[in-house]
Amino acid sequence: MKIKNYQDFYAGMMFLIFGTLAAWLSTSYNMGTGARMGPGYFPFYLGVILAVLGVIILVMALGVNDGKEHPVSLKPLVVFIAMMVFSLLAGLVGASPNASLAIGTIAGCVLSFFIGMPAMGLILLSVTLFGLMLKGLGLVICVTGLVIISSLASHERRRNEIIASVVILCATAVGVFVYGIKLQMPVWPDTQELGRMFVPAEKRK
Amino acid sequence: MDAFNTLIANLSLGFATAFTLQNLIYCFVGCLLGTLIGVLPGIGPIATIAMLLPATYALPPVAALIMLAGIYYGAQYGGSTTAILVNLPGESSSVVTMLDGYQMARKGRAGAALSVAALGSFLAGCFGTLILAAFAAPLAELAFKFGPAEYFSLMVLGLIGAVVLASGSLIKAIGMIILGLLLGLVGTDVNTGVSRFAFGIPELSDGIGFISVAMGVFGFAEIISNVDMKGTRETFTNKVEGLILSWKDFKEALPAIIRGTGIGSLLGILPGGGALLAAFASYTIEKKIGKNPQPPFGQGNIRGVAGPESANNAGAQTSFIPLLTLGIPPNAVMALMVGAMTIHNIQPGPQVMTSNPALFWGMIASMWIGNLMLVILNLPLIGMWVQLLKVPYRILYPAILMFCCIGVYSVNNNSFDVLITVLFGVLGMMFLRFGCEAAPLLLGFILGPMMEENLRRAMLLSRGDPSVFLTRPLSLTMLLMALAMIVIISLPAISKKREATFVEE
């Protein structure tokens, strides 16, 4: 059997995997009966329907070629799986949920470089670092980092423009969000917070 | 006459609420910010609302909703400006505007195109607001007759409607809805307190934040694919002149505006309808009416801008009807509105009108004010938007990214949400590469818990007998309508035509 439409083929596979996963995870919750549904009931059947839809899409993708191009790329899927796997591994060796997810996303971003999606890697890495460090390093340093790293993703970056962007955006962020609508965010680095980020909770006392 | 008097009384309450200095300012700020972000190429209303939503958290509920409605109109109007001047749609509904609007701009008639878009949007907005005000009360009456079975069937109808009327593969869109429903179930089950799909992560016990989903799938994925795209875009850089419409243009555009408004108002109310479908339908009709249009459609005919622009604004307006009266979002933008209302502890639905009339009618009045402001704001400020469009994307996207990041972070003040958003960014890229539309996912995501709740209640009341959905007439009607939509759209003749409509235009 030859695959005629790779986009649909992989989409079908994605639905099949997500559906099976959801149905399988739901079986660990109480199913209940139709009249008194348990927490597992609705997601189980949704998962089953999704998996069936996935199979239908898969099979249809094997059918007649419609003569159109369907450009497909598995790279984002690979990155997503990598993020999940690394997060799980980190969780298994005892990292906190937040730290596990951070390790997973960073690993996925790094992987993006090696499989030819540098723009996605840089942009998502800049966002990840921003989220992780904001409490410790403060808005100014984080915005600077975000702008510099994400700007590198563009093919036509120019140094002076990046410098100007950094200055303007730092001023905007502090002016609008901290002084304007008064969001609770540190502007400058906070050494106590930084210490807390790298020392596990149980050793702090 | 009695109904008319109540309507007037309600509207005056609304205007009294909306016409306070504070609310006028929020409405203005909303329109301004919405246009500012919406004008950026590649950013549609969904991403704009998701991005600006955190800015409204601190406001009182009425002001927040007024500002959000302003953001929505602003974003939509900004999208048309971009479509006309840059030939790059900020959102799917301005694809249609682009066809003739950009051609008009190339022929030096950018001013006329922008004016007619503004005028059409304004007139359509006024009419849509009136429809909304007139139909809200009777529909809410009807909604009180709805039991859980009816609600469940209505949601099925809405979800099916949303995919049938959208572009792209039908079956993949249904898959995306179900995936969305499943994602919406993550977190603590309200009935039993069991934590589902949370893997013991405390941050997930409240569920995945809808801002994370919307921002990741719409914001980040869009930015990444735009940055990845090589090649330059043709920006219309000449000065925009001739904003005043000539009498001839006006005479030609007015009927198109009226037709567009009618079609848009009607299609907006339908579940799954809204701006996109309205714009397409209006363009198709304009093309059919009148022989030998000069210039031909696709080469800068003013009716090709006037009709769809009016239709999409009227549709945007009336798509608030199902949300405000039934509590069911008919499309992804309204789904975001549900999220916004929930944050302010307002459960959207028929009870809003009775329990919080000032909020309800104030919001409706502010819609009209918002439309007026857009005209006042956009035509004089058009020079500013043109300048903004000249800023290269490489400078814009880090700024957009910064607003996204601060927005996501500020929801709960934690880094976990930001990381989840990154994950959804990757998922969004994956959906793009696999040709799956993301809007149905967002709609399903919001409706997931509501659907489960109503299914549960309906089945509890019927003691586990699923035939309750078929024996109650209202519920049966809605399910049959959903079924009919799927059947009709799957007929070979229609599905071919549907494909052609979305491809060719």
Question: ipTM, 2 decimals?
Answer: 0.90
Contact B423 A105 (CB under 8 A): yes
- Judged by a CB distance cut-off of 8 A, whether residue B178 touches chain A is yes
pLDDT digits (tens, 9 = 90+) for B326-362: 777 877 788 888 888 888 888 887 787 778 788 888 8
- Judged by a CB distance cut-off of 8 A, whether residue A18 touches chain B is yes
Whether B304 and B297 have beta carbons less than 8 Å apart is answered as yes
CA B369 → CA B20, B27, B30, B77, B366, distances in Å? 12, 8, 12, 15, 5
- Judged by a CB distance cut-off of 8 A, whether residue B455 touches chain A is yes
Q: A residues 141-160 near B, CB within 8 Å?
A: 143, 146-147, 150-151, 153-158
Contact B429 A132 (CB under 8 A): no
Buried b (16+ CB within 10 A) or exposed e, B114-150: bbbbbbbbbbbbbbbbbbbbbbbbebbeebeebebbb
pLDDT given at position B497 = 58
pLDDT digits (tens, 9 = 90+) for B136-147: 777 777 777 788
Q: Which residues in chain B are closer than 8 Å to A61, comparing Cβ atoms?
A: none
DSSP B239: P
What Rg do the C-alpha atoms of chain A give, in angstroms?
23
pLDDT digits (tens, 9 = 90+) for B413-428: 888 889 999 999 999 9
Q: How far is A205 from chain B (nearest CA, A)?
A: 23
DSSP B362: H
CA B336 → CA A40, B333, B340, distances in Å? 27, 5, 6
- Of all residues in chain B, what percent carry a pLDDT higher than 90? 4
For strands B195-196 and B187-188, give the pairing.
Answer: antiparallel
Q: Where does residue A98 rank: exposed (0-12), middle (13-18), buried (19+ CB within 10 A)?
A: middle
Contact B434 A14 (CB under 8 A): yes
Go through chain A and tell me how many residues it has: 205
Contact A108 B459 (CB under 8 A): no
- Judged by a CB distance cut-off of 8 A, whether residue B503 touches chain A is no
For residue A35, give the nearest of B189, B421, B463 by CB distance: B463
- Judged by a CB distance cut-off of 8 A, whether residue A70 touches chain B is yes
Residue B356 has phi, psi (to 5 degrees) of -140, 60
DSSP B324: I
CA–CA distance, A69 with A27 (Å, rounded to integer): 40
- Judged by a CB distance cut-off of 8 A, whether residue B213 touches chain A is no
Positive or negative, the CA dihedral B338, B277, B452, B431 is: negative
3-state helix, strand, coil in chain A (%, to 5): 70, 0, 30
Mutate to test the interface with A, among B199, B206, B405 (most CBs of A within 10 A): B405
pTM of the model: 0.83
10-residue block means of pLDDT along chain B (505 residues)?
73 78 86 84 77 78 85 83 72 72 79 84 86 80 80 84 71 89 86 79 81 84 78 57 72 83 81 68 78 72 84 83 80 81 81 80 82 80 78 82 85 86 92 84 84 86 82 86 80 60 47
pLDDT digits (tens, 9 = 90+) for B70-82: 888 888 888 888 7
Three-point CA angle B19, B24, B28, nearest 5°: 150
- Judged by a CB distance cut-off of 8 A, whether residue A121 touches chain B is no
Torsion of CA A115, A120, A121, A123, to 10 degrees: 170
- Judged by a CB distance cut-off of 8 A, whether residue A66 touches chain B is no
Q: A residues 167-196 near B, CB within 8 Å?
A: 169, 173, 177, 181-185
Contact B452 A132 (CB under 8 A): no
For residue B227, give the nearest of A91, A102, A119 by CB distance: A119
For residue B409, give the nearest of A25, A131, A182 by CB distance: A131
